[in-house]
Amino acid sequence: MRVTQSMLAANSLRNLSKSYEKMGTYQDQLATGKKISRPSDDPVVAMKGMHYRTNLTEVEQYQRNISEAYQWMENSEAGVEQGTQVLQRVRELVVQASNGSNSPEDLKAIGAEIKQLKEDLVGSANTQVAGNYIFNGTETKKAPVTLNADGTVTVLVDKSPFEVEVSKGVSLKANINSDNVFSEDLFAVVGSIEKALTSGDASGMDGLLSDLDGKMDAMTAERAELGARYNRLELIEDRVMKQEVVSTRILSENEDADLEKVIMSLTAQESLHRAALSVGARIMQPTLMDFLR
């Protein structure tokens, strides 16, 4: 095969073009910090990157869900604690009213305080978080308890669990069973105590006190169950945080360029490129046409 001057020149220019292309790739990797800038650079890395990025996005969403579950549980805990304190004060007043040394006026004064406590209890039952009623199941836009103009209380509690997906395939109940905390029976007991004391009659306090203790026990049990779920949520959060670390590391290993290696490759390619230019200058010797000009 006859090798001509034009063939040598064409091969030299083609090799120089490839050298420029390699240097451009290395420069892009240094500028972006990524192995590839388009899927066509390496389809395998691109496909794996899509999968890893999807996993990381899911983990980040679970972290946001966990944050919301914490918000619901912590506010539920605060609401139940407030309700417990109110009922404890009601109990103290009932015991005080039952000692037999109170005049009708004293009983009315105690009844007036219980009325205020009942209204505070209604406020606790209607606790809102980001515009949602957390003690009304999935009916988060409706107030579960209504204080009527005549002082009576209307309770319409939804018992459905408000579940939040906190991990893949794992949903956790973020609310409490309001029927065990702010139930219609509870407000009926408090209302009966208020009515009796306001009328100056403390004769039936023993039975009402027993009913009140039962409601307080139910509230305490629900609070304990909430605490158990809170502890589980902390374990799930720890696991999700570890998943985020692993997902981030795998995504980085797949996509991020090894800058030290890229710099070494770029330096070596620049040396090769200069050598190619030097050799090309020798190959492309002057022709007869150059002397005839």
Could you give the angle at the alpha carbon of 38 between the alpha carbons of 34 and 39, nearest 5°? 105
Where in the chain are the domains?
Answer: 16-33+259-274, 52-250
Q: Give residue 13's pLDDT.
A: 73
Q: List the one residue out of 81, 147, 143 whose CA is nearest residue 116.
A: 147
List the single range of 4-8, 125-129, 286-290 with lowest mean pLDDT.
286-290
Full 3-state SS string of the chain: CCCCHHHHHHHHHHHHHHHHHHHHHHHHHHHHCECCCCHHHCHHHHHHHHHHHHHHHHHHHHHHHHHHHHHHHHHHHHHHHHHHHHHHHHHHHHHHHCCCCCCHHHHHHHHHHHHHHHHHHHHHHCCEECCEECCCCCCCCCCCEEECCCCCEEECCCCCCCEEEEECCEEEECCCCHHHCCCHHHHHHHHHHHHHHHCCCCCCHHHHHHHHHHHHHHHHHHHHHHHHHHHHHHHHHHHHHHHHHHHHHHHHHHHECCHHHHHHHHHHHHHHHHHHHHHHHHHCCCCHHHHHC
The CATH class, in words, for 52-250 is mainly alpha
Question: What's the rounded mean pLDDT across residues 183-208?
Answer: 87
List the single range of 2-11, 91-100, 212-221 with lowest mean pLDDT.
2-11
Q: What is the pLDDT of residues 121-175, one digit of tens each?
A: 999 999 998 889 999 988 999 999 998 988 888 998 888 889 999 998 899 999 9
pLDDT band at 90 (very low <50, low <70, confident <90, very high): very high
Q: Give residue 271's pLDDT.
A: 76
Which residues are within 8 A (CB) of 210 and not within 5 positions of it... i.e. 6 or more apart? none
Q: Give residue 59's pLDDT.
A: 92
User: What is the residue-averaged pLDDT of the chain?
Assistant: 84
pTM reported for the whole predicted model? 0.76
Structural tokens at position 5? 């001057």
Question: What's the rounded mean pLDDT across residues 201-224?
Answer: 88
Cα 39 to Cα 51: distance, rounded to the nearest angstrom: 13
Q: Could you tell me what percent of the chain has a pLDDT over 90? A: 38
Q: What is the pLDDT of residues 223-265, one digit of tens each?
A: 999 999 999 999 999 999 999 999 888 888 887 777 778 788 7
Structural tokens at position 233? 């949520």
Q: What is the pLDDT of residues 107-122, one digit of tens each?
A: 889 889 999 999 999 9
